[in-house]
Amino acid sequence: MHQAKHGSFKDESAEIWVVPVFSEKRALGSFATAIDGMLNGALNDARAEDESTGKKDEVVVFRGARAIRAKRVLLVGLGKRESLDREGMRRFGAVIAREAAAKSKKIAVAFGDIDCADEETCAFAQALVEGYDLATYDFDRFKEKKKSLGGALLLLTGGKKSASYASDGIRRGVACAAGQNTARDLSNMPANHGTPDMLASTAKKIGKSLGIDVRVFGPKEIEKMKMGAFLSVSLGSPVPPRLIQMQWNASKKKLPCVAIVGKGLTFDSGGISIKSADGMDKMRHDKSGGCAVIGAFEAVAKLKLPIRLVGIVPATENMPGGNANKPGDIVTAKNGKTIEILNTDAEGRLVLADGLTHALGFKPDVVIDLATLTGACMVALGSHCAAVMTRDDELARDLVRAGQSSHERLWRMPLWDEYVDEMRGSQADLKNLGGRYGGALTAAAFLEAFTEKSKWAHLDIAGVSWDDGTRLYNKGKGATGFGVRLLVEYLTKIAER
Ligand code: BES
Ligand code: ZN
Ligand code: ZN
């Protein structure tokens, strides 16, 4: 797999060599200079003749470097050196994947020419590998022809010490991308395959291989646990629900404890308040919050982060069967609160209500939920960031920061008493439908009723969980796995505190 080492191009047997260049007219780095020598000055000529300008994502290919075994040399533009950040490195990784992954078993990268300080080396190597591994993912399990997997990266550094920083970055990047690709793979599953039970068995399988404690509860147990809100959503479907419970470092009670709760709707038809046909297939992705929780566990366990992590995924379909919720029905949640269901399509908050109450039982220091909760959030923010709602300024700050580093960005939206007031029921304690406007905010206010006094944040990921494949490292269209990198970044910072 991917590796970093201190060395020169001369000794390597890679078929493809990748050389980063910047848009300022600066001298070529030492790796590039060495290759330029072997190519009789072709790199410098390309720079001088403005064929290679170094602007972001630009690629210039050289062939015929017979003296050095490589089949081709790629000059890849990274823009201005001073504005290069982790996201620029992820894009770099994705460009390498697009140009070279399928064509070579081993791809050497002149990483040393990026000229990083020590701290930057680890973060940049991590981001590069994330971009590469995310870009080589394809959801092709149902296709006859499958693409071959990407070749391994060899990051060549300028010194021994930077090679060891880069190796650490690679380890982190591989773990994050693997977790994120797991989340994407699960979220991409069509509803007839990606059932609640399938989510549960995948969580179990991952748990078994990585030492995560996973327990799964079925409808009878969910009923016994008095999760009346969650259970009610599942009744319209013949496919049984599952409550997935994951624990990392369960016995280490002294470690800081974070609980993550993910909405796991394997299909959301809307129920009796049925959705329109247009784009309804996308509602297989309504489990993306839950998939991000499972993916984050994989990454956290691979990295052996010293934190206590609890994961809860209430997984079910929302269908209009004969036993389905009906508008006007009143259900009782696990914490005893009653809810008037005015719209059966506002089901995410019902399953999360009981998921959150269950999570509180573990006495976590922080609770974070992730959910494709509202169309209103998509209307407000589009597809370039998710919303975070919390009353806790410190938690908001930490999560927004983690979003910047991971480039899974968050934008804070208000959670105020006025929104809470909108969610009071007329015949029950709460109703599941707010007024016409501010739907993402009233949804968050509803959830707050199930968090007692805990330090809690809600992430509405409706706009960011899948896309049309226009992003560099989400080539295959479909699920993005949003939330995995963000959570791992946030949890890593907690572990370092
Ligand atoms: N899963 C949907 C939210 C959603 C819609 C996510 C489109 C991504 C894309 C959720 O369960 C839902 O249907 N919410 C309703 C709530 C409304 C009835 C209060 C919505 O947003 O329309
Ligand atoms: Zn819905
Ligand atoms: Zn939904």
**Atom 3 (ligand 1): residue with closest C-alpha?**
374
CB 469 within 8 A of CB 478: yes
Host H or E run for residue 185: helix 160-188
| Ligand 3 centroid distance, CA of 265 (Å) | 6
Q: Is 174 left (phi over 0), alpha (psi -120 to 50) or beta?
A: alpha
CB 58 within 8 A of CB 65: no
Residue of 318, 370, 373 with the most ligand 1 atoms within 8 Å of its CB, for mutation: 373
- The ligand 1 atom nearest the CA atom of 463: 8
Name residues whose C-beta falls within 8 Å of residue 119's C-beta, 6 or more positions apart in sequence: 165
CB 105 within 8 A of CB 14: no
Closest CA to 355 of 414, 293, 295: 293
| Ligand 1 centroid distance, CA of 366 (Å) | 26
Residue of 273, 345, 352 with the most ligand 1 atoms within 8 Å of its CB, for mutation: 345
Residue 343 near ligand 1, beta carbon < 6 Å: yes
pTM: 0.98
Q: Provide the residue-wise pLDDT of the chain in tens; the chain has 497 residues.
A: 999 999 887 777 888 999 999 998 778 899 999 999 988 999 999 999 999 999 999 999 998 666 667 889 999 999 999 999 999 999 999 999 999 988 889 999 999 999 999 889 999 999 999 999 999 999 999 999 887 778 999 999 999 999 999 999 999 999 999 999 999 999 999 999 999 999 999 999 999 999 999 999 999 999 999 999 999 999 999 999 999 999 999 999 999 999 999 999 999 999 999 999 999 999 999 999 999 999 999 999 999 999 999 999 999 999 999 999 999 999 999 999 999 999 999 999 999 999 999 999 999 999 999 999 999 999 999 999 999 999 999 999 999 999 999 999 999 999 999 999 999 999 999 999 999 999 999 999 999 999 999 999 999 999 999 998 778 888 767 999 999 999 999 999 999 99
Identify the DSSP state of 274. P
Identify the DSSP state of 136. T
Beta strands in 29-144 (DSSP E): 59-63, 72-77, 106-109
| Ligand 1 centroid distance, CA of 462 (Å) | 8
| Ligand 2 centroid distance, CA of 447 (Å) | 15
> Which residues are catalytically annotated?
275, 349
CB 450 within 8 A of CB 429: no
Question: Do strands 338-340 and 430-431 pair parallel, antiparallel, or not at all (unpaired)?
Answer: parallel
Host H or E run for residue 167: helix 160-188
Report residues near ion ligand 3: CB below 5 Å: 265, 268, 286, 348
Task: Decide: helix, strand or coil at residue 453.
Answer: coil
- The ligand 1 atom nearest the CA atom of 347: 11
Residue 317 near ligand 1, beta carbon < 6 Å: no
CB 231 within 8 A of CB 219: yes
| CA–CA distance, 134 with 147 (Å, rounded to integer) | 14
| Distances in whole angstroms, Cα of residue 214 to Cα of each of 123, 146, 358 | 31, 31, 15
| Ligand 1 centroid distance, CA of 349 (Å) | 10
CB 94 within 8 A of CB 132: yes
**Rounded to 5°, angle at Cα 218 from 208 and 275:** 110
